[in-house]
Amino acid sequence: MNDLLIRSYKSSDNQEIKDLYKLASVESEIGFRDGPWYKDFDIMENFYMDKGDFLVGVMGNKIVAMIGLEKSLKTVGHIRRMRVHPEYRRRGYAQALLKELEERAVKKGFTELRLRTSIQQIMAQRLYEKNGYSKMKSKKEFYLEGPFEVIWYRKLL
């Protein structure tokens, strides 16, 4: 794992993280559908960097993992856009990004983190539960393409 460099997002990363998100989603249990729900990628500095954070995991010159932290309430953050390139999975990169994001969240004054994942993403559920996230609720959320069943998690920091 010493080969993974974790750093904050830079505007020059934008196209690469969009491509990674699409690739990793296509290769996951949920697939990828383009649409307006990805608008945060077009306003990264305002959406994440002003009040939260967005981290990338880099190997050589290639971004292979990412995770975002959006400020949703005064001391509550929402973890978003966690993805690892399919060729780099099962190496502990998601774990490393999550740990770094949690440490940065504490330094920024967050006392709780929340996230949602689909019921199909078993590996993601295991990662979050292993790291102390507890299930809040499971429900169907409705998007333009139809209902999508998600599980909400939370962790007190």
DSSP state of 70: E
Give the pLDDT confidence score for residue 41 in this predicted structure: 83
pLDDT at 37: 54
Would you state the pLDDT for residue 149?
79
Domains of the chain, by residue range, sit at: 5-156
Which superfamily does 5-156 belong to? Gcn5-related N-acetyltransferase (GNAT) (3.40.630.30)
- The pLDDT tens digits along the chain (157 residues) read 568 999 999 999 999 999 898 888 766 555 555 554 567 888 888 889 888 999 999 999 999 999 999 998 889 999 999 999 999 999 999 999 999 999 999 999 999 999 998 888 888 999 999 999 999 876 655 554 555 678 899 999 9
Identify the three-state secondary structure at position 120. coil
Directed axis angle between helix 93-107 and helix 122-130, to 10°? 50
